[in-house]
């Protein structure tokens, strides 16, 4: 979410009703409490009352309520965007050649322009995800998504960002920065969480062949299905994260 931006409508009579207190240590916020706020009888000044621990559900409910009352913000949506909310931006990339970088013991330090399948990305408050698709056209809600055929990815398409430089903003204007953070960082290792490609000699052999220029187009038959994972469910926040 955008830092330093007031969320909520103006021009309405509002009353200070509660306060959130954050307790931080060297590594950031660790604990939070919510407190009622009531006016002091003598002066009318707001006074913070006794608090209670703030659980995740209460925090999410509060943020959703703020989102409903937020002043509308118009934004031009480019053709590659398939979903936008206050918590996530989801977009797709058609099949295209792109440069990749590898830095690992098995493949060495290598870079090459290789073909990629159609991809669907999602940047959200819960992380960064990528999925592959067999279709070359813009995905529909029912479009089936496949495992990302890449190193540095976990289950549910989650991307291990590591030292990659990605935007802190969740908005359409930041899409190019998110893509750059993915493609311009070195792929260093496969992560746990299931098979990423169906290839006779394994994951390393697949990417060695890709880097060697064996395929003129991405070989769609290597993509691994994900049961019940569709573009519509991803946009709705049902695949590894909140909407």
Local mean pLDDT, 10-residue blocks, the chain (243 residues): 34 72 80 88 88 82 70 74 92 98 96 98 94 97 98 94 83 94 94 91 97 98 97 93 54
CB 220 within 8 A of CB 197: no
103 in the same domain as 42:
no
98 in the same domain as 25:
no
Q: What is the pLDDT of residue 14?
A: 67
194 in the same domain as 89:
yes
Q: What is the pLDDT of residue 26?
A: 80
Structure tokens given for 243: 């909407």
Q: What is the pLDDT of residue 206?
A: 98
Which structural domain range is residue 45 located in? 18-69
149 in the same domain as 56:
no
Query: Is 3 among the domain residues?
Result: no
Q: What is the pLDDT of residue 118?
A: 98
| Of 24, 147, 157, 144, residue with least CA distance to 88 | 157
Strands of 127-133's sheet in order across: 81-84, 88-93, 118-124, 127-133, 144-146, 225-230
* Dist. CA 70–CA 73, nearest whole Å: 9
Q: What is the pLDDT of residue 67?
A: 67
Which residue's structure tokens are 């802190």? Answer: 168
Q: What is the pLDDT of residue 3?
A: 32
How many structural domains compose the chain?
A: 2
Query: Is 7 among the domain residues?
Result: no
DSSP string, 180-235: HHHHTSEE----SSS-SB--TT-HHHHHHHHHTT--SS--GGGBPEEEEEEHHHHH
Structure tokens given for 148: 């990302």
Query: Is 243 among the domain residues?
Result: no
Query: Is 147 among the domain residues?
Result: yes
59 in the same domain as 89:
no
Q: What is the pLDDT of residue 231?
A: 98
Kindly give the residue spans of alpha helices, DSSP state H, lying in the chain.
56-69, 175-183, 203-211, 231-235
The pTM score is 0.72
136 in the same domain as 174:
yes
| Of 219, 171, 184, residue with least CA distance to 74 | 171
149 in the same domain as 105:
yes
With the C-alpha atoms ordered 77, 146, 154, 191, is the resulting torsion angle positive or negative?
negative
Query: Is 52 among the domain residues?
Result: yes
Q: What is the pLDDT of residue 240?
A: 78
221 in the same domain as 106:
yes
């Amino acid at each position: 979410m955008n830092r330093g931006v007031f969320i909520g409508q103006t021009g309405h009579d509002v009353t200070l009703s509660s306060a959130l207190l954050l307790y931080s240590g060297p590594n950031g916020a660790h604990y939070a409490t919510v407190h009622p706020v009531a006016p002091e009888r003598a002066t009318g000044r707001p006074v913070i009352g006794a608090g209670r621990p703030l659980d995740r559900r209460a925090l999410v409910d509060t943020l959703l309520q703020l989102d409903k009352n937020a002043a509308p913000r118009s934004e031009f949506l480019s053709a590659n965007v398939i979903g936008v909310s206050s918590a996530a931006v989801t977009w797709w990339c058609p099949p295209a050649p792109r440069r990749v970088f590898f830095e690992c013991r098995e493949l060495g330090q290598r870079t090459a322009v290789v073909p990629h399948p159609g991809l669907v990305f999602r940047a959200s408050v819960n992380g960064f995800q990528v999925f592959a698709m067999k279709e070359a056209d813009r995905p529909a809600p029912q479009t089936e998504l496949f495992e990302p055929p890449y190193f540095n990815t976990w289950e549910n398409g989650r991307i291990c960002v590591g030292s990659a430089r990605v935007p802190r903003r969740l908005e359409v204007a930041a899409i190019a920065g998110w893509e750059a953070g993915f493609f311009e960082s070195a792929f260093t290792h496969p992560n746990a969480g299931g098979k990423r490609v169906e290839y006779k000699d394994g994951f390393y052999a697949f990417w060695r062949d890709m880097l060697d220029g064996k395929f003129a187009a991405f070989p769609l038959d290597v993509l691994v299905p994900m049961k019940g994972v569709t573009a519509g469910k991803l946009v709705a926040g049902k695949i590894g994260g909140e909407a």
